[in-house]
A and B are shown apart, each in its own frame.
Chain A
Amino acid sequence: AQKITQTQPGMFVQEKEAVTLDCTYDTSDQSYGLFWYKQPSSGEMIFLIYQGSYDEQNATEGRYSLNFQKARKSANLVISASQLGDSAMYFCAMREGNYGQNFVFGPGTRLSVLP
C-alpha cells in the first residue's frame, strides 16, 4: 500500500494567489515526521517545511504552512502569495521511526504558477 499519497499530479495557480497541495499518509508509528520538498527543473531537492507527529501547532516557514490533521492523516502544504518561482515539483515525504531509518516520498505534484 502507498505510504504517501499525493492525489494531484498537476496544479495551476494564479500568481499572488494561495494554493494547497494535498498529502495523505499511512503509518502505524506513533512517532513520525512529515516533510515537504520542492524540486525545480534544475533537479535539486529543496527542503521547505517539517511537521512532527507530536507537534500541536501547524508548522509555518515564511510563505509555507502545513495544515496538519493527524486524525485524518493528512499534511497539506499551503503556499501563500504564489510567485512564478514557485513553479516546480513538490514532494511530500514521511520519516518513520525516531532516527530517520525509513524515509518515503510521495509521487509528487507539479505546480505551475500562471502570470
Chain B
Amino acid sequence: GAVVSQHPSWVICKSGTSVKIECRSLDFQATTMFWYRQFPKQSLMLMATSNEGSKATYEQGVEKDKFLINHASLTLSTLTVTSAHPEDSSFYICSARGQGYPYEQYFGPGTRLTVT
C-alpha cells in the first residue's frame, strides 16, 4: 500500500514553455502533499506544501507565479512550471503524507525536467 505515482518521469521542454507534473496517491487519500526539488548530489529542498482544496503554502524564496501548485482532489496534486528556463532544470519529487501515525511521507519516483 501507500503508492505514489508521478508523471512524467522525465521531460524535455524548450525555454519559455510550461510543463505540468502530476502526483497521484494510488491507494490512499492524501490531504497533504509536498513538492521538493533536488539538485545533483544535494538533499531535497521543500518547495511547497499542498493541501487539498486550499492554496499551497510556499517556502521562502520559491516563486508562486512560476511554480503553480494545484491540489484539486484527495489523490492528485499538480506542479506547473510556467515559462520554464534552463535554470529550472532539476529533479522534482512529490510526496504524500500518511493519514495516520507516524505521518511518514510516501514519495513518488520523481520527474527529471530538462529545459533547453
A interface with B by C-beta (< 8 Å): 33, 35, 37, 42-45, 47, 50, 52, 91, 93, 95, 99-101, 103-108, 110
Q: Is the CB of A47 within 8 A of B97?
A: no
**Which stretch of B21-29, B60-68, B75-83, B102-110 is in the interface?**
B102-110
Q: Within the assembled complex, what's the spacing in Å between the Cα atoms of A43 and B38?
A: 10
B57 to chain A, nearest CB (A): 10
What residues of chain B lie closer than 8 Å to A50, measured between beta carbons? 102, 104
What residues of chain B lie closer than 8 Å to A104, measured between beta carbons? 46
Is B32 interfacial (CB 8 A cutoff)? yes
Q: Is the interface of A mostly helix, strand, loop or mixed?
A: strand
Q: Is the CB of B103 within 8 A of A99?
A: yes
Q: Is the CB of A95 within 8 A of B110?
A: no
Count of chain B residues near A, Cβ 8 A: 23
- Apart from the given pairs A91-B43, A100-B32, 17 other A-B contacts in the complex at a CB distance below 8 Å: A33-B103, A33-B104, A43-B93, A44-B107, A45-B44, A45-B93, A45-B107, A47-B107, A52-B102, A99-B103, A100-B102, A100-B105, A103-B34, A103-B46, A103-B105, A107-B43, A108-B43
Contact A106 to B104, CB < 8 A, known contacts A43-B91, A44-B110: no
